[in-house]
């Protein structure tokens, strides 16, 4: 056998091996993706009476959008969760932290326009605007009110979802029992500038390079930040303990792998999750997120509960606290979480749910 033929044979073996691995991975991912949800079970193994565990695909804003609705009793109050991003559904991640919301609420984990289950029919990112997504939120709210016979529901927003939530509640207070904000966005452009300065200072003190940041200018009043900046910022803050979590996280193992393994999502939904998390950074809504709430929303006519991690630099803790103090509401509470960054409901779930039970629901 000539040398050329030997090399060709080795290359064929390598390519065949790679193809076999890719096929195996696809088959594994397909097996993980039936798009089904497990029901709650009673002590005898039967479906728990009165419980809800459904994947709903319904028309919202003229397109099919996905909802995961879960709760141990349909007699519990209804809660609509607005995820962050934009474009990052949080049901799978939150499920792994066993927060316990479904013990006390019927919870709707909605995949917003441009994300997860709702991505395929969402159209181009330029149509993903704050106004459109606020209208979507009201439609989902009314779907839940009609479905569960509720006059009002609870609204909980995390990160981007908290910005969306404040805007929706300010215009539609009659639909909501209370507003619950986690990692409350207030003046995100100012938050980005503070995070930028913090990262440069901290990296320099550690003797690490800041060269990757030098191409970005956050000095202006209307800084136009590309998707690449937000990805760099998120990675850097996570490394420093001031991002999504305070404790270091293995991004693939702790965040991406659980989503890939989630049986509630089909392959198309998982594709939508990955694409939506990227494409949403190009959408108008990501720029609209930079609007200063303290200059546009002064009053919420419902009780307000804000949860914020002390280490959060992704959405600045001090700015959130300052906005809370300015906000006028019939009742308001601010809770600091001293061992958390941007996700206190997942980082300190026991304390989080205890506060929700006691202060939001009035349960002993």
Q: Is residue 2 part of a domain?
A: no
Q: At what angle do helices 188-205 and 227-240 cross, to 10 degrees?
A: 50
Is 290 part of a structural domain of the chain? yes
For 75, the token pair is 């007699």
Per annotation, catalytic residue among 159, 162, 238, 343? 159
Of 323, 102, 44, the C-alpha closest to 191 is 323
Q: Are 51 and 79 in contact (CB under 8 A)?
A: no
The helix (run of H) or strand (run of E) holding residue 57 is strand 52-60
* Residue 7: pLDDT band with limits 50, 70, 90: low
Give the range of the structural domain holding residue 124, as residue numbers without chain letter: 52-188+251-360
Average pLDDT over residues 264-283: 91
Q: Is residue 45 part of a domain?
A: no
* Active-site pick, 312, 320, 340, 343: 312
Judge whether residue 286 has pLDDT over 90: no
Q: Give the contacts of 268 (CB within 8 A, at least 6 positions apart).
A: 120
Quick check: is 352 in a domain? yes
Active-site residue, 158 included: no
Q: CB–CB of 297/170 below 8 Å?
A: yes
**Catalytic residue (choose from 158, 246, 308, 342):** 342
Read off the CATH number of the domain in which 346 is found.
3.40.50.1820
* Average pLDDT over every residue of 241-255: 80
The domain tally of the chain equals 1
In a domain, 5, yes or no: no
Q: Is 159 known to be catalytic?
A: yes
Average pLDDT over residues 321-328: 96
Determine the pLDDT at residue 238: 92
DSSP summary character for residue 108: E
Respond yes or no: is residue 51 known to be catalytic: no
The answer to the question of residue 204 being in a domain is no
Model confidence pLDDT, tens digit, residues 33-75: 778 999 999 999 999 999 999 999 999 999 999 999 999 999 9
Helix or strand (DSSP H, E) at 269: helix 267-279
DSSP 8-state class, residue 84:
B
């Amino acid at each position: 056998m000539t040398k050329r033929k030997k090399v060709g044979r080795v290359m064929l073996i390598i390519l065949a091996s790679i193809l076999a691995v890719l096929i195996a991975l696809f088959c594994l991912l397909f097996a993980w993706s039936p798009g089904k949800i497990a029901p709650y079970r009673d002590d005898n193994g039967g479906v728990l009476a009165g419980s809800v565990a459904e994947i709903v695909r319904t028309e919202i804003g003229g397109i099919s959008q996905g909802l995961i609705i879960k709760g141990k009793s349909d007699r519990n109050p209804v809660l609509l969760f607005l995820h962050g991003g934009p474009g990052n559904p949080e049901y799978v991640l939150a499920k792994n932290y066993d927060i316990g919301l479904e013990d006390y609420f019927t919870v709707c984990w909605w995949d917003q326009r441009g994300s997860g289950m709702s991505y395929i029919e969402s159209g181009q990112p330029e149509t993903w605007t704050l106004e459109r997504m606020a209208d979507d939120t009201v439609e989902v709210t009314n779907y839940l009110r009609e479905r569960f016979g509720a006059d009002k529901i609870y609204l909980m927003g995390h990160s981007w979802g908290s910005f969306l939530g404040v805007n929706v509640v300010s215009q539609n207070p009659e639909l909501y029992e209370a507003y619950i904000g986690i990692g409350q966005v207030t003046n995100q452009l100012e938050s980005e500038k503070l995070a930028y300065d913090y990262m440069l200072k901290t990296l320099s003190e550690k003797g690490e390079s800041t060269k990757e940041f030098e191409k970005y200018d956050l000095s202006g009043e209307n800084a136009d930040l590309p998707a690449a900046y937000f990805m760099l910022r998120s990675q850097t803050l996570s490394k420093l303990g001031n991002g999504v979590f305070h404790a270091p996280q293995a991004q693939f193992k702790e965040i991406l792998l659980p989503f890939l393994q989630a049986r509630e999502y089909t392959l198309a939904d998982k594709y939508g999750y990955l694409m939506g998390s990227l494409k949403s950074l190009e959408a108008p809504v990501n720029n609209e997120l930079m609007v200063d709430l303290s200059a546009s929303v002064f009053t919420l006519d419902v009780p307000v509960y804000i949860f914020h991690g002390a280490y959060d630099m992704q959405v600045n803790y001090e700015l959130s606290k300052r906005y809370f103090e300015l906000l006028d509401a019939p009742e308001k509470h601010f809770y600091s979480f001293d061992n958390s960054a941007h996700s206190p409901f997942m980082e300190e779930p026991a304390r989080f749910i205890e506060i929700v039970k006691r202060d939001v629901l009035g349960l002993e």
